[in-house]
Structure 1
Amino acid sequence: MRVLMVSWEYPPVIVGGLGRHVHALATELAAAGHEVVVLSRQPAGSDASTHPTTDEQLDGVRVLRVAEDPLHLEFERDLVAWTLAMGHGMLRAALTRLLPSWRPDVVHAHDWLVAHPAIALADVLEVPLVATVHATEAGRHAGWLSSPLSRQVHSAEWWLAHRADTLITCSAAMRAEVAELFEVDADPIVVLHNGIAPRRWRANAARVRAVRDRYAPGGAPVLMYFGRLEYEKGVQDLIAALPRIRRAHPGTRVVVTGTGTAYDELVAAAARHRVRRSVTFTGHLPDADLSALLRAVDAVVLPSRYEPFGIVALEAAAAGAPLVASTAGGLGEVVVDGETGLSFAPGDVAGLAGAAGAVLDDPGAAARRARAARKRLGSAFEWGRIAAGTASVYASATRGSAAEPGRPKIPTGNVFGRG
């Protein structure tokens, strides 16, 4: 099939897990013989003089990367206007550089930021529109749509969910969330998990020892979080649990790897709980260093309060790290409590401390669970299998009526009924 993927992230432009997902899916589909074009963008803050539009073949995938227009718009300050401008640039590039000589069988949109160009292209070309919802605005804000920006984002998500001919989510939890939030039937929504390429996370023994010596001097227990530093990721709960963990396991340290808007708040939380010297914030790490750190720690702790899937759990499992994770969203499907890791309820600081302590109490059992988690990757989270499932979705997608819906009604309270 000829597939046009529209995504606001594609390597080397990476914001979160979406870009890696689209890259892995696109390259696997191409390897399976499908003709894949990815329509994406150049880095934010650049322009056509520094980062002109490019059209190149990468890993079997044609990538049309669109330059930013001259407007003075910033992603952080002008999100909706910036997104509309990006969509306009994508649409213009597709119409002038791509479609005169190439026509897709299906358009695949990844998240609300590309709703405008993806819907427009599917309408113009009269082909099915498939949309993957990777996360929701309401989910990221614990069910509240209290700001004008959140209401705007929610309405764009709602529009894409209603306009798509087929919807995909990365977990059963996300399928239920999408059906509830956007008032669509859950049954036709296809669940296709994220995947992982295990070999990427290998590290040699010498590098692992060096990293262990750096972050766990004297052989102290060390726990790790890696991912975006945002409130919904629950890192504040890990920091709050650290004093309890240290009482049972003196000297335990926590390494926090990643960047995000919650950094200052997390540093303040570590000081407030009197564990600032026991928490190391590394910022972003290159993959080689991250691989070694994952192999060196006693456990990776993923304390998310909201998590559509939890690809970091797969990455930790691929590296062989024992897992301690909340049951938020997709994490409850990725980590099987007692079999491939230990789980606790989102926001349960005592439960987190108990699960982390259990790993430190019995390293042998933790290692057995880690081996089971790694073994499961090959059966449940292999990209070839996921790409084949996606291709089946494309083949069965049929174009419905391009009816234009009205605006959704925005709830004034919590959309999940939490008060």
Structure 2
Amino acid sequence: MRVLMLSWDFPPRETGGSAAHVAGLSQALALAGHDVVVLTTAHPRADREAERVGPVRVVRGVVDLPWLPKTEPVSRTASANHAMVKLGAHLPDTLDGWRPDVVHGHDWRMGWAADTLSSIFNVPFILTMHGTERVRHGGQLPTGTPSDVNSIEWWLAFQADRLIAPTKFMVDQLVTGFELPPELVARIPNGIDPDRWKPSPDVVGADTPVKREQLVLSWGRVQFEKGFQVLARSMATVRMRVPGVECTIAGRGSYQPELQAQIDVEGVSDIVHIAGFVNDSELRLLTQRAGCVVIPSLYEPFGLVALEALAAGAPLVVARTGGLAELIEGTDAGLTFEPGRPDDLANCIERVLTDQFLADELTRNARDLIERKYSWKAIAGATARVYATSIAAHQG
């Protein structure tokens, strides 16, 4: 099967979890024998128009045309999609006659191009919605860009032949929010490569055991909805119960000044540190050292960070929200707390850091969960079945 996949983000550009998802899925599909081409945006560290990333061909396009202001994200995205359509329409010329059997877009930012290219090549259009604008804003859509994006998502939902969402929560949001027939929305989870989360030999010897510390670790984009401010408030309580505890928040984002102010107000600036950008090797080592990984999100449609923490074998505490709750509840692979409740979170952190038996049990169950449900091979197989069903319906 020839698959054309479109994604705004693809390594080395990674502004969110969708880049890792598209990379993992495309690689697994190619290893299963499918011919996969990824169409994505140009990046300074990957500036060739076409390249090979393992068995996957990647075609990158310059999308800053006609250099619209950053204050107009929808207009800039529309312009970018125009550039992607031009690039995609010429794939048969640039790739020796290659034509797709299916077009698979990821989220609204590449939706226009995916829909148009599926029409050009007369093949099905599959759309993965990793999240929606309405859910990101807690069900209340502000005017302006969020409302505009929501309208685009509505349109794309009805243009696509089939939709894919990573959790039951997101499937329900698509079916009820966009009034879609349930049979048109498939649930296929995100995946993880556990080997990626083993400590790098150049950082720590392969046979060297890494001792877990009284370290609370969290990472991701520093935005309000990620809930790092809740973690900061909880640490004021944890420090009184767990001697020597420290907390590291790895990541960057627009909410960082407000988060630092919250840390200062809570009087925990001596034990809570915002590390900024942390590269993969350093992050792997941090997860191996951490006595507890916390994902305090107020909103999280899936929670790739949770999978990463599980793969790293770190005892895990997550907010009981959206896809995080679905991922962890009932698995005994992590503890959950009520989102936005620092006291509830503090209790969970204390339990994990002071009960070694519990921490070891969470780690064992996490390994089992990753191997059983979230391998890329299984996820690629489920995705290929959605493709096959859509192609058959399109041809019929």
Category of TM-score, reference length = shorter chain: over 0.9
Distance in 2 (CA, whole Å) between partners of 1:162 and 1:390 is 20
Q: Which amino acid aligns with 1:174?
A: M
Report deviation, 1:198: 0.6
Verify the 8 A CA contact 1:307 1:328 in the aligned structure 2. Answer: yes
For 2:116, the equivalent position in structure 1 comes to: 120
Report deviation, 1:280: 0.9
Instruction: Quickly say closer, same or farther: Cα 1:243–1:208, change in 2 above 3 A.
Output: farther
Distance in 2 (CA, whole Å) between partners of 1:15 and 1:271 is 27
How much is the aligned-residue C-alpha RMSD, in angstroms? 2.2
Match of 1:82 among 76, 99, 106: 76
Distance in 1 (CA, whole Å) between partners of 2:22 and 2:12 is 12
> Is 2:199 the counterpart of 1:203?
yes
* Cα deviation code 1:294-342 (max 9, x no counterpart): 0101100001111111111111111110000012111112223571011
Distance in 1 (CA, whole Å) between partners of 2:11 and 2:200 is 26
Match of 1:360 among 347, 353, 369: 353
Report deviation, 1:178: 1.5
Match of 1:323 among 313, 316, 319: 316
Verify the 8 A CA contact 2:64 2:76 in the aligned structure 1. Answer: no
Distance in 2 (CA, whole Å) between partners of 1:396 and 1:381 is 22
For 1:414, the equivalent position in structure 2 comes to: none
Verify the 8 A CA contact 2:5 2:37 in the aligned structure 1. Answer: yes
Instruction: Quickly say closer, same or farther: Cα 1:51–1:286, change in 2 above 3 A.
Output: closer
Q: Which amino acid aligns with 1:259?
A: R
> Is 2:233 the counterpart of 1:266?
no
> Is 2:377 the counterpart of 1:384?
yes
The 5 Å alignment of 1:136-215 reads 136-203=132-199, 207=203
Q: Between the two proteins, what is the percent identity of the paired residues?
A: 37
Which SS does the other structure have where 1:330 is aligned? Answer: helix
Q: Which amino acid aligns with 1:305?
A: L
Distance in 1 (CA, whole Å) between partners of 2:297 and 2:310 is 17
Q: Which amino acid aligns with 2:73?
A: L
Report deviation, 1:78: 2.2
Distance in 1 (CA, whole Å) between partners of 2:244 and 2:101 is 58
> Is 2:363 the counterpart of 1:370?
yes
Instruction: Quickly say closer, same or farther: Cα 1:69–1:345, change in 2 above 3 A.
Output: closer
> Is 2:113 the counterpart of 1:104?
no
Instruction: Quickly say closer, same or farther: Cα 1:249–1:21, change in 2 above 3 A.
Output: same
Verify the 8 A CA contact 2:102 2:391 in the aligned structure 1. Answer: no
Report deviation, 1:53: 5.8
Match of 1:276 among 265, 269, 273: 269
Distance in 1 (CA, whole Å) between partners of 2:91 and 2:327 is 41
Which SS does the other structure have where 1:356 is aligned? Answer: helix
For 1:28, the equivalent position in structure 2 comes to: 28
Q: Which amino acid aligns with 1:193?
A: P
Distance in 2 (CA, whole Å) between partners of 1:105 and 1:333 is 33
Distance in 1 (CA, whole Å) between partners of 2:129 and 2:91 is 27
Report deviation, 1:111: 0.2
Q: Which amino acid aligns with 2:82?
A: H
Which SS does the other structure have where 2:189 is aligned? Answer: coil
> Is 2:300 the counterpart of 1:307?
yes
For 2:208, the equivalent position in structure 1 comes to: none
The 5 Å alignment of 1:180-259 reads 180-203=176-199, 207=203, 221-259=214-252
Verify the 8 A CA contact 1:208 1:296 in the aligned structure 2. Answer: no
Distance in 1 (CA, whole Å) between partners of 2:360 and 2:203 is 20
**Matched residue count:** 387
Residue segments in structure 1 that go unaligned for 5+ positions in a row: 210-215, 402-419
Distance in 2 (CA, whole Å) between partners of 1:155 and 1:99 is 34
For 1:285, the equivalent position in structure 2 comes to: 278
Report deviation, 1:400: 7.5
Verify the 8 A CA contact 2:61 2:84 in the aligned structure 1. Answer: yes
> Is 2:89 the counterpart of 1:95?
yes
Higher deviation after alignment, 140-149 or 268-277: 140-149
* Cα deviation code 1:206-252 (max 9, x no counterpart): 9579xxxxxx9xx9722011111111111111111111111211332
Distance in 1 (CA, whole Å) between partners of 2:77 and 2:392 is 26
Verify the 8 A CA contact 1:5 1:108 in the aligned structure 2. Answer: yes
Distance in 2 (CA, whole Å) between partners of 1:14 and 1:220 is 29
> Is 2:48 the counterpart of 1:62?
no
* TM-score where L is the length of structure 1: 0.87
Which SS does the other structure have where 1:147 is aligned? Answer: coil
Report runs of 4+ in structure 1 exceeding 3 Å deviation: 50-53, 97-100, 204-209, 398-401
Distance in 1 (CA, whole Å) between partners of 2:392 and 2:11 is 30
Report deviation, 1:72: 2.2
Instruction: Quickly say closer, same or farther: Cα 1:103–1:204, change in 2 above 3 A.
Output: closer
Q: Which amino acid aligns with 1:306?
A: Y
Distance in 2 (CA, whole Å) between partners of 1:398 and 1:36 is 16
Higher deviation after alignment, 265-274 or 89-98: 89-98
For 2:68, the equivalent position in structure 1 comes to: 73
Report deviation, 1:398: 4.5
